[in-house]
Amino acid sequence: MVLVYLIKVLIILVFAYSLFMYGVFSQSDLLDDQPYRTAYHFQPIKNWINDPCGPMIYKGIYHLFYQYNPIGNGSPNGPRVWGHSTSLDLINWTPQPLTLEPQMESNMNSSYTGSTTILKGYKPTILFTGITPKNEQVQDLAYPKDPLDPFLKEWVLAPQNPLMYPNPQNKIDSTSFRDPTTAWLLPDGNWRVIIGSKKERKGLALLFKSKDFINWVQNYDPLYSYELTGMWECPDFYPVFMNGVSMGVDNSIIGVNTKHVLKISLDETKHDVYTIGTYDFMNDGYIPDLGFENDSSLRYDYGKYYASKTFYDGVKMRRVLLAWVNESSSLDDDLKKGWSGIHAIPRRIWLDKSGKQLIQWPISEVEKLRVKPVILPMQVLKGGSRIEITGISAAQADVEISFKIKEVSNIERFEASWSNPQLVCSQKGGSVSGGVGPFGLLTLASQDLLEYTAVFFRIFKNFDNKFVVLMCSDQTRSSLNPTTDKTTYGTYVSVEPIYEGLSLRVLIDHSIVESFGARGKNVITARVYPTLAIHDKAHLYAFNNGIQDVQITWLTAWSMNKANYIA
């Protein structure tokens, strides 16, 4: 009991210290004057944020590190350090001191992205990319000054740094060697880690091994590579259970009931793509089930979503996915508001029962912010109609809606040339009437519908008489600001719409709309900046611009409380 009391006192003292030294602000302090600040997504008070780095759980506390420009004022220009925040639930965050600031030659010009690994004896470490005075990219190690501190407020660099550097004999450019993954340990006693790189335009996942986590040797062959894909940033490599088991797996687990996921952030397109395959751990090779298809590969998210990273939460036995969501506003607008970049809501991630794709779903903790549910009865949404969902804060909401399609007599034919779903969505947006669809939600809508972001489905039949389901997030009318990027996003969803129905879950938070289709099979994230539909002027509608009626079988919407603290 005395120990528990002392731990509670320690937490209170550290929290008070954070208030005094760094400032902990409720979101409401900032939202009133800044309509595009989010209420429950992770973002800094000011300046530039990008990649999540080294998320982990340690002594029951979640840690999130992130790329941060402390003098950027919304601009990426300037040296990067790591921001650091802690949480008990991955939603409400308390800031900790900045870390990995310039301390030695190997990180004098910046500390770029990296990962955390907990070694034997429960010792947390950070592997990260340091930038030397010559702008060379090398890999550095850091460890906590006091491992007994559950908040890990201070980190020190290993005197042996740098531990890994690009081998010129392999013709690896010193500016293309970054972003080490979480390491994994195999029965041979060697830790393994991969680092993103390229050789000309051939993307590489370079593999390094070490017995002591200090002395690393590069494997002759990369774990995996692919031609004409450009630089591979922020690689991630982890096991997942087969047969639809939603529990997460520790990075070092190798078993007959697991597959492996290799995720790459493509620098040329700023898309996160992944493959599912087999890890040949005897030969340190990776064999994807389907060939890597560059930007046509599977993606975590078909909107704005980049530099993602997962970690295994051993307390709740889940794998959690985090990512950077950058702005769609102009640099001038970012400088005016004094900040840039947010993080998506953390997602639980697992392998679909089919084994062909991953499933993603917002972590359950975000549901604690739900208040004042509004439930609409089952009803028919006639073609060419819309229904307003009232009684919620439409600028700050969580919405779940399901549809059933009884007839497809007016269905449109799918053209074989429609291989690019984003292009099809841009041509057949939310305002373009079709046969079955578009139907879905009009989010962040002004009362006169001069502004809205439409998230919807549209159903076709192909030449084999099979259904093709298109999911879109249409930003073409999202803002009256002429300098805002209003790209429309799209993806095809693998689902049988007649038998399974179609579902949407949409998280709306002032300037972000995260849309989960078909219970998390496909996700689209958009950044939008309405000029009219802000705060209490925002509206939410269910709509059907198709000829065919559809049935709403479920609609529940919640207003969302603000997260207690921001980073």
Q: What is the pLDDT of residues 361-375, one digit of tens each?
A: 999 999 999 999 999
Give the pLDDT band (50/70/90) at residue 532: very high
* Helix (H) and strand (E) counts in the chain: 5, 39
Q: Note the pLDDT of residue 11.
A: 34
How far is the CA of 261 from the CAs of 211, 236, 491, 562, 565, in angstroms?
24, 8, 20, 34, 33
- On the question of pLDDT at 44 being above 90, the answer is no
DSSP for 199-215, please give it: ETTEEEEEEEEESSSSS
Poorest-pLDDT segment among 253-257, 368-372, 448-452: 253-257
Give the pLDDT band (50/70/90) at residue 32: low
Q: Which two tokens stand for residue 554?
A: 């479920």
Give the pLDDT band (50/70/90) at residue 564: confident
- On the question of pLDDT at 13 being above 80, the answer is no
What does the pLDDT average to over 78-87? Answer: 94
Q: Note the pLDDT of residue 505.
A: 98
Q: Which two tokens stand for residue 39?
A: 């209420």
Q: Which residues pair with 310 in a beta bridge?
A: 321
Q: Note the pLDDT of residue 410.
A: 87
How far is the CA of 469 from the CAs of 14, 24, 317, 439, 474, in angstroms?
51, 45, 33, 12, 16
What does the pLDDT average to over 399-404? Answer: 98
Three-state SS string over 406-473 comes to CCCCCCEECCCCCCCHHHHHHHCCCCCCECEEEEEEEEEECCCCCCCEEEEEEEEECCCCCEEEEEEE
Measured in whole angstroms, the distance separating CA 560 from the mean position of its chain's CA atoms is 20
Residue whose structure tokens are 């993080």: 343
For the CA atoms of 271, 272, 278, 282, the dihedral, rounded to the nearest 10 degrees, stands at 100
Q: Which two tokens stand for residue 549?
A: 């009626």
- On the question of pLDDT at 12 being above 90, the answer is no
pTM for the predicted model, two decimal places: 0.93
DSSP for 305-341, please give it: -EEEEEEEETTTTEEEEEEEE---S-HHHHHHHTEE-
Measured in whole angstroms, the distance separating CA 17 from the mean position of its chain's CA atoms is 30
Q: Note the pLDDT of residue 296.
A: 62
DSSP state of 377: P
Q: Note the pLDDT of residue 451.
A: 98
Please classify residue 426 by burial: count the beta carbons closer than 10 Å to its beta carbon, then call 0-12 exposed, 13-18 middle and 19+ buried: middle
Give the pLDDT band (50/70/90) at residue 15: very low
| R_g of the chain computed on alpha carbons | 24
- On the question of pLDDT at 90 being above 60, the answer is yes
- On the question of pLDDT at 27 being above 80, the answer is no
Cβ atoms of residues 561 and 371 within 8 Å: yes
Q: Which two tokens stand for residue 302?
A: 């078909």
Q: What are phi and psi of 367, to 5 degrees?
A: -70, -15
Q: Which residues pair with 188 in a beta bridge?
A: none
Q: What are phi and psi of 77, to 5 degrees?
A: -70, 125
Closest CA to 429 of 383, 467, 475: 475
Q: Note the pLDDT of residue 480.
A: 96
326: which residues sit within 8 A by CB, 6+ positions away?
50, 304, 306, 340, 341, 527
DSSP state of 174: T
Q: Which CATH architecture has domain 2-362?
A: 5 Propeller (2.115)
What does the pLDDT average to over 63-85? Answer: 90
How far is the CA of 309 from the CAs of 76, 261, 425, 426, in angstroms?
20, 12, 28, 29
Q: What is the pLDDT of residues 115-159, one digit of tens each?
A: 999 999 999 999 999 999 999 999 999 999 999 999 999 999 999
Of the candidate CATH numbers 3.40.50.10860, 3.40.50.300, 3.40.50.1010, 2.60.120.560, the domain formed by 365-560 belongs to 2.60.120.560
**DSSP H or E segment with residue 526:** strand 522-527
Residue whose structure tokens are 């990319």: 129
Is 536 annotated in the active site?
Answer: no
Q: What is the pLDDT of residues 310-361, one digit of tens each?
A: 999 999 999 999 999 999 999 999 999 999 999 999 999 999 999 999 999 9
* Given the residues 51, 179, 236, 272, the one annotated as active site: 51
Residue whose structure tokens are 């990512």: 323
CA atoms within 13 A on the CB side of 267: 19
The three-class DSSP label of residue 257 is coil
Segments making up each domain of the chain, as ranges: 2-362, 365-560
Closest CA to 509 of 540, 471, 463: 540
